[in-house]
Structure 1
């Protein structure tokens, strides 16, 4: 008796690295726990022991997963299909974000009405919706108005929209691509360039122009591995990474934590800002990953 050959769908399932799915799910679960303040679990999540948190882990893993899913397919003759798949995925994320936003608003409205907690309508950026409904609804649809704790999917969708260009550039010129990506991160951070909020003032909480650098680091690393390369385990680098992680864990539990920036440097260099992915956060997540 012979075993039938697996079809294309089965082969894709067999080839899928489920470890990435597990790690990304853990990152999302940790983000969820972090976004429910006051629970006993929140005190033990990753963010309490270093400069970065689960959002950095999620974006880095997302770059790796894009390389795994589309890196080998992004070749002449297959680029259009791969691009459409990435954009379709971005569309799914956009719809998911809108649905989640509406559900969250409904839950807070229900709490305000049935639990007699009107103050719920002043939390997590819902109050502008109550005061300026038409403009804020337009902002929700255009991603210019994001509820508090609902910021990860918009940046991920934006990164997926740009992912075809990232994959193409990184595939052919990985080092120049990362240099350009790093310069974009630096320029966006120094001059505070980010998608604007609407109708409220301000910028996106997670700036895709900054977070693309971490995404591209994950993308470039996995494309390198997919082509037969390897990430060398250097004892000196491993030791330096360990020292940095331990030092960060001590730092965040010391009086030093909370300083906006050091030595009057731009926040993106000398601070711990999450919007622009400040420099200390980058080596922390990379050290943990290493």
Structure 2
């Protein structure tokens, strides 16, 4: 499988945005994706993750067979679950350490720090059962569920693509009702509704699996699709800009609301958000492909690639850096723009440095362990 440098760059960009978005008084958070698009970095990360799953599945199945691909993603689901559990424990301990130093922070709930110290085994249990999903890590719970389904669902997608798409859409339509039945620490089910977000994830997988067959057909209608995609993206941007302007833009906002209806919810994956990011994916993949490749090859683009290639390790690092960065920006209170900006830059550089260390030492070590296991088998 050949790596797509633009894909790695966008994954890295998504992680940087996720980190900054979770630092409430960050200065650079006003320039993240959520400020000029109706969707945010979470949707971008899930779509790109699905696309990568599709590409990897196709490569592994072609070289080693379907059973190998199924086993690989079953193992990957376990790895993400493990990251959710131990990442939650580590995040709670970091929060407890900050509170012990009298460094307030709002990126995560303080109760995690209380629970991990008062009842560490109980806290481990609720994380391991996924009954509790700590904020900042809650998207991993959905990722575990979706990845665990991949060994069964991708063969169905490959055999019945249209039927699978229809079933995914129907499941999305009933997502709010179904999510309410999921056992969870909060009322209403998981925060990231798996029955809604599955449609975006499997859309990404389908893009990775069928891109060679579908793209020649779509390219015959390139101009029309580009116009529709740009229109959908700009429509979402207009909603965001109108909301930021506030009261003076009320007539404009009311006119837009006549088109999209009521509230555009994130957690169930509103259709407006879904269509906007799918439109954006076409713009990035086709009319802006050359620009994206040049950006990815730049010095900044390479740094973002390295963050994106860090994968799960980079995600955990970005979450922990969100908590630390939030604490550094809030303590002492009343910091100026320059100091908060310095913390933003520090957090980004730290995320890049940690990702490079992982790629240099951690990833090769992980590969060597996998090869030794395969040799023994």
TM-score (norm. length: structure 2) = 0.63
Query: Any idea what the Cα deviations from partners look like across 1:74-101, whole Å, max 9, x if unmatched?
Result: 4798222211110111111111222221
Match of 1:6 in 2: none
SS at match of 1:271: coil
Matches within 5 A, 1:1-290: 15-74=2-61, 78-115=65-102, 117=104, 124-127=108-111, 130=114, 133=119, 136-190=123-177, 192-193=179-180, 195-198=182-185, 200-227=186-213, 229-230=215-216, 231-232=218-219, 234-254=222-242, 255=246, 270-290=262-282
Distance 1:129 1:16, change over 3 A: same
Taking the aligned partners of 1:68 and 1:222, their CA distance within structure 2 comes to 5
The alpha carbon displacement at 1:239 in A equals 1.2
Asked if structure 2 preserves the Cα contact closer than 8 Å seen for 1:139 and 1:197, the reply is no
String of CA shifts for 1:61-86, please: whole Å, max 9, x gaps.
11111111012544798222211110
Deviation at 1:281, TM superposition (A): 0.7
The change in CA–CA distance for 1:18 and 1:76 in structure 2 (over 3 A counts) is closer
Does the 8 Å CA contact 2:14/2:42 hold for their aligned counterparts? yes
Given that residues 264 and 272 in structure 2 are in contact (C-alpha distance below 8 angstroms), is that contact kept between their aligned partners in structure 1?
yes
What's the TM-score once normalised by structure 1's chain length?
Answer: 0.80
Deviation (angstroms), 1:162: 0.8
Alpha-carbon distance in structure 1 between the residues aligned to 2:156 and 2:226: 29
Deviation at 1:19, TM superposition (A): 3.5
Q: 2:114 is paired with a residue of what secondary structure?
A: helix
- The answer as to whether partners of 1:74 and 1:167 remain within 8 angstroms in 2 is no
Post-superposition Cα deviations, 1:124-146, rounded to whole Å, max 9, x if no partner, equal 33426736846554222212212
Residue 116 of structure 1: CA displacement?
6.2
Structure 2: gaps (5+ residues): 283-377
Q: CA RMSD in A?
A: 3.0
Q: Which runs of 5+ in 1 are unaligned?
A: 1-11
Higher mean C-alpha deviation, range 187-196 or range 103-112: 187-196
In 1, Cα distance between equivalents of 2:231 and 2:181: 33
Distance in 2 (CA, whole Å) between partners of 1:20 and 1:27 is: 11
Cα distance between partner residues in 2 of 1:185 and 1:32: 28
* Structure with greater contact order relative to length (CA < 8 Å, sep ≥ 6): 2
Greater fraction of residues in helix: 2
Following TM superposition, by how much is the alpha carbon of 1:166 offset from its aligned partner in structure 2, in angstroms? 2.4
Indicate how the Cα distance of structure 1 residues 192 and 139 shifts in structure 2: closer, same or farther if over 3 A, else same.
same
Check 1:145–1:258 CA distance in 2 against 1; reply closer, same or farther (3 A cut). Answer: farther
